[in-house]
Structure formats: C-alpha cells, structure tokens
Structure 1
C-alpha cells in the first residue's frame, strides 16, 4: 500500500511566507475597521467600487472644470477623496488619490494630474483624516489654507517652468497697477514699493484660500451629513448663519 504523500505546504516556512504575501495583496476584510464601522459584508466589493467611483468623480470634476471653467465647481474638488476617507479609511483614500491621478494622467497628461494632486488630492486626503478624527474647524481651515497656499505657489512655479516665463512677475505687475489705482483715489503721491506689492499679493492669495477652504467645509457639512458620514459641527456663529 502506497503511503500518502505529505503536504509540504502546511507548516513550512515557505507556505507561511506565501500566506503573508497574499494577505498584503488581498487584505482580510473581516478584520478591517472600515468594513466593521460601515457594517458591510466582508465579501462585498463595495469598498473597491465606491473608491473607484469617487476617485473617477474627482478626476472628472477636474477635467470638466478645465474645459468648461465654472468657479463654484472648485469647491467639490477635494470632497470625493475626503468622503472615501470618511467611509473606508486611510488606505482606500490613498488608493482613491492614486486612481484619480492616474486617470488624469491618461486623459490630460501628467502635468494636469500633478496640478490636481497638489493641492486638491492632498487636501481631500487631509480633510478626510481631520474630519474622521473630529478635528475642530479652526484647525482644519488653518491646515487647509497652508496646503492650498503652498499649492498655489507650486502651480505658479510649475507653469512658469513649463512656459519659460515668470508668472509671479505678471501677478506682481497686476497688483502694482491695482495699488497705484488705490493710491490715486486716496491722493497718495507715491509709488508703491516692491515689498508692499508682494506682501499684498501673498495676502490676497491667503485670504482667497481661507474663503475657499471655509466654503469647502460648509458644503462638506451639508453633503456628508446627508450621506451618513457627518463631519464635526461648525462653530456656533457659522451655525447661526446657516440656519438663517
């Protein structure tokens, strides 16, 4: 009688290594805190489907706004990635950013994809992380303003590098003309200094980004509450304005 062939895969170090390698690629959703938080069947592909859908939505919003510029649409750029984080956690949000960047790289080229990634992709991931941890609006708006301001200067540098022209100089010239017009109205017979002009330019960028980040929070507060993934409550004075 022939003896049974032993199964060398059980208990061997090679088999353990293979199982660990497979676990990295196919995570155990039964232990995933995201699926437990949402009450999702571990065998359901909803995590992958929602992540792909929202990442595609983020990329398409950027694509549509590029060809048909609509100012209010910019408010929605970081929201799909933030919603992915709120629903499925850090890893899914990171994959969502990657999918959106790859999609835009194919449709519009790597330059436009980088312009989406910095700041809107990073901003969406950051907001999702802060809202998931119930951070206060003041801190989230401050950090978002820092990221968007950095993104503005990064885009100025990137476009200037590609065009071979200094866009910061162009912006400075425009602000100089505006300041001279204000000086003429006020009767100030003096040329604005370069430091004053550049300081006002930076201040205008910061103020614009503060307003933008604040509007993103207001829209996210309304939208995410309806989706069942609420973000932290706004300050009382904002709640009063929204109630009115």
Structure 2
C-alpha cells in the first residue's frame, strides 16, 4: 500500500489548554513603553521595556518564542521651538534689541539703514573732516598761507552739521581743536576756535534748522565779530599789550588829522571812536559772512547736497 507524501505529513495542532497558556504568556511578554518625560527646555526620550523574571522565561518553549511577534514601537518627536537669542551687555543694563529684525530671530547690525552702520559712518566722517581740517590749518600757518585757505576752514563743520546734525558739527569742531592743541599748542587751537570754529558751528546749526538767510547772516555776523574781538583780547593777554587801546588811539589820531585838514574844529570823543570801531567790525564781518554763504551754497550744490539747503529765491534761480 503506497502512501503519498502529502498523507505522510501530520500536523499536530495544539489543544485548547495549550493555546490559553500561550495567550497568557504572550501578554506577559508585551513590551511596556513608559511616557516621554518632558523638561522645560530639553526633551528626553526614555523608553523602558520590562520583562518578567528568569523563572517565567524557563517555562516558555521554543515554539512559543517563535510565535511571539514584537511590533516596533513608534515614537513621535515634537519640534522644539527656537529660542530667541538676546544680548546682555552687563548687570543692570537693558537688552540690546536695536539690531533685531522684524521676526526677532536675526540681528542685522551692518545693514545700510541700521543704527550701528549709520553711527559708524558718522564717526568716520567726522574724524576724517577733523583730521583734514587740522592738517591743512597747521600747514597753512607753518607756510604763512592762511589767508588763501581761511574761507574753507569752516566748511567741514557745516557739512557735518548738515549731514548728521548739530551734535556732529560740534564734535568735528572739538576734534579739530584737540588735534591742533596736540600739533601746535593751545594758542593755535584757541585761534581756530575763535576765528573759524564758532562761525562754522553757527552757520551749520542754522542751515540744519532751515533758517532764513537774513537770520543766518545776522547771527553769523555777530558770531564772527565776537570771535574777532576774542582773538584781539587773547593776543593782548599773550603779548602783554592792550591791542584794542592801540587800535582806538590810532583811529582817534587819524580822525583828528582828517578833521583838522578839512577845517572842522572838533575833536572826536573816545565813545565815538569805540562806536565807530564796533560798526566797522560788524560791517567787515557781515561782508565776510555773506561771501561765505554764497561760496558754501555753490560748493554744496555741486556736491549734490542742494536738498539740504534753503536758498533764497534769487540764488535758487541762478543755480
């Protein structure tokens, strides 16, 4: 009797008790995953798989282990929010947030319209203007050619005031004076302040405030006359001689000679001489300031700064 190969294969199915026993132990070997601990700033993943003791493992047969199907645990990772960086310069100081962009995550300190870039550009321009002015003034005094460049010594202060404000013009004037103080001494520095620094700062401040030319010329004339008188008093103190008295005495003698020559039997008083001297100083300063206004207007217009100027109608049409 021939038995086929398929009939020789005998499958021994487990009984109901064996299936219950396997189901019970299959539950015991299911891995348990604990919850993910979350910390305030960092997320740690901790998974703990607990197995029964070694005594229970000895009861499991090889067929039971092969029948177990352990599924891979899946973990969901949540996205950690980005922490905005803040710069703290020191204790008690406020946070530096000027360079933050609109979303607050990047710092654009070197942007062309940023505060740091503009402050650096202002500092560099004021320093360069002060250095060039101090050097030219020092060389012109050393070579005795100050009269040829005297009208340009106030121009850097005016440009700084127009571009960056009155404070920048004042810093340029002070920096130039300090440079001349180091190079030539206090006398040259004080002379620069009295003859060029005061008028440059006054003109630059008034032009920055868009003042009328009438007001600007009047105030700059007073500043120029005050600087000239200060220069006279300073020179008198240094040489131990009253230069103002010498000037007034010479004017008195000249007028007395003119009156005598013309047949006027009158001797001018000293009050009249002082008044005449003051009027002459104001007229001289007024003409000088008016020429400076014309020269600086033409020069700044050629430099492309016409929008910053408030020119009179007749000059605006001419330019």
Greater length-normalized contact order (CA 8 Å, ≥ 6 residues apart)? 1
2:311 equivalent to 1:233: yes
CA distance in 1, matches of 2:118, 2:229: 45
Match 1:50 to one of 121, 125, 133: 125
TM-score normalised to structure 2 length? 0.60
Which runs of no fewer than 5 residues in structure 2 stay unpaired?
1-38, 40-85, 100-107
CA distance in 2, matches of 1:205, 1:43: 41
Q: CA deviation at 1:202?
A: 1.0
Preserved CA contact (<8 Å) 1:137 1:235 = no
Aligned-residue RMSD, C-alpha: 3.5
Aligned residues: 223
Preserved CA contact (<8 Å) 2:88 2:95 = no
2:277 equivalent to 1:201: yes
Q: Which residue of 1 aligns with 2:227?
A: 151
The 5 Å alignment of 1:33-72 reads 42=117, 45-67=120-142, 68-72=144-148
2:167 equivalent to 1:91: yes
Q: Which residue of 2 aligns with 1:6?
A: none
2:150 equivalent to 1:74: yes
Q: Which residue of 1 aligns with 2:66?
A: none
CA distance in 2, matches of 1:127, 1:112: 22
Q: Which residue of 1 aligns with 2:218?
A: 142
Identify the structure with the greater helix proportion. Answer: 1
Residue deviations 1:13-47 (CA, integer Å, cap 9, x gap): 95452767xx9xxxxx97xxxx85xx999279543
Deviates more, 1:64-73 or 1:88-97: 64-73
CA distance in 2, matches of 1:224, 1:61: 20
Q: CA deviation at 1:199?
A: 1.2
CA distance in 2, matches of 1:239, 1:88: 24
Q: Which residue of 1 aligns with 2:287?
A: 211
CA distance in 1, matches of 2:257, 2:186: 40
Preserved CA contact (<8 Å) 1:58 1:81 = no
Q: CA deviation at 1:235?
A: 5.4
CA distance in 2, matches of 1:185, 1:234: 46
Match 1:167 to one of 223, 239, 243: 243
Change beyond 3 A, Cα 1:227–1:181: farther
Report the structure number with the largest CA radius of gyration.
2
Q: CA deviation at 1:228?
A: 1.8
CA distance in 1, matches of 2:92, 2:290: 50
SS in 1 for 2:117: coil
Residue deviations 1:119-178 (CA, integer Å, cap 9, x gap): 422321221121122111110111111111111111111121122110101111222233
Residue deviations 1:152-209 (CA, integer Å, cap 9, x gap): 1111111211221101011112222332343245332322221121111111111110
Preserved CA contact (<8 Å) 2:198 2:227 = no
TM-score normalised to structure 1 length? 0.77
